[in-house]
Amino acid sequence: MKLIVLDRDGVINFDSAHYIKNPNEWIALPGSLEAIALLNQSGYRVAIATNQSGISRGIYDVATLNAIHDKMFSALSKLGGRIDAIFYCPHANEDGCSCRKPKPGMMQEIGHRFGVDMRGVPVIGDALRDLQAGVAIGMQPILVRTGKGEQTIAEGGLPEGTLIFDDLASAVQHLLGDNA
């Protein structure tokens, strides 16, 4: 099985320093939904791993998060795409959980649920913590320049072997060109 793990905010949709608090604030980045549909058509299972501390902070609830994801699912389905699973951490950093990126808990759970050895599986994010969570269990780190990507590059310290692309669409084109 071909599997890929994507961060959500800053990779699939525009990010906000004030959180994506409702479906109206969820706006897809240009080409991101088409890229996911292309992954699906090329035989990839697509999982999302996203920190959603707005839940524990009381900024939005799980029902609102589900409504945001329903909007994403609907937009994707119109393009022939789908997300196979969404994993999210509802905790704040100070909660000390094992699922919040950069800890690898969500990535380990994705591997367990899909029955996949995560070594070499691509993980695409816009922040260092996205990549660190994957690298901790041997995943292939891929950084996009969208969202916090440019800031992440400027701060340095990327894991060895990190691939960098302008956006999700260009990362997917590279993956499919190499693995088609």
> CA–CA separation, 78 vs 176, rounded Å?
22
Strands 140-144 and 163-165: parallel
Q: Is 9 one of the annotated active-site residues of the chain? A: yes
List all residues 6 or more positions away from 128 whose beta carbon is below 8 Å from its beta carbon: 102, 152, 155, 157, 158
Torsion-angle region of residue 152: left (phi > 0), alpha (psi -120 to 50) or beta? Answer: alpha
* Tokens (6 digits) for 177: 């060109």
- The model scores a pTM over 0.75: yes
Which CATH code, of 3.40.50.720, 2.60.40.10, 2.30.110.10, 3.40.50.1000, is assigned to 2-179?
3.40.50.1000
Model pLDDT, residue 16: 94
Q: Tell me if residue 7 is catalytic.
A: yes
What are phi and psi for residue 13, nearest 5 degrees?
A: -130, 165
Cβ–Cβ < 8 Å for 85, 43 = no
Task: Determine the Cα–Cα distance for residues 108 and 176; give it in Å rounded to an integer.
Answer: 24
Per-residue pLDDT tens listing for the chain (180 residues): 999 999 999 999 999 999 999 999 999 999 999 999 999 999 999 999 999 999 999 999 999 999 999 999 999 999 999 999 999 999 998 999 999 999 999 999 999 999 999 999 999 999 999 999 999 999 999 999 999 999 999 999 999 999 999 999 999 999 999 554
3-state secondary structure of 79: coil
Q: Where are the domains of the chain?
A: 2-179
- Helix, strand, coil proportions of the chain in percent (round to 5)? 40, 20, 45
What is the pLDDT, as a whole number, of residue 178?
54
pLDDT value for 7:
98
CA 33 to chain centre: 12
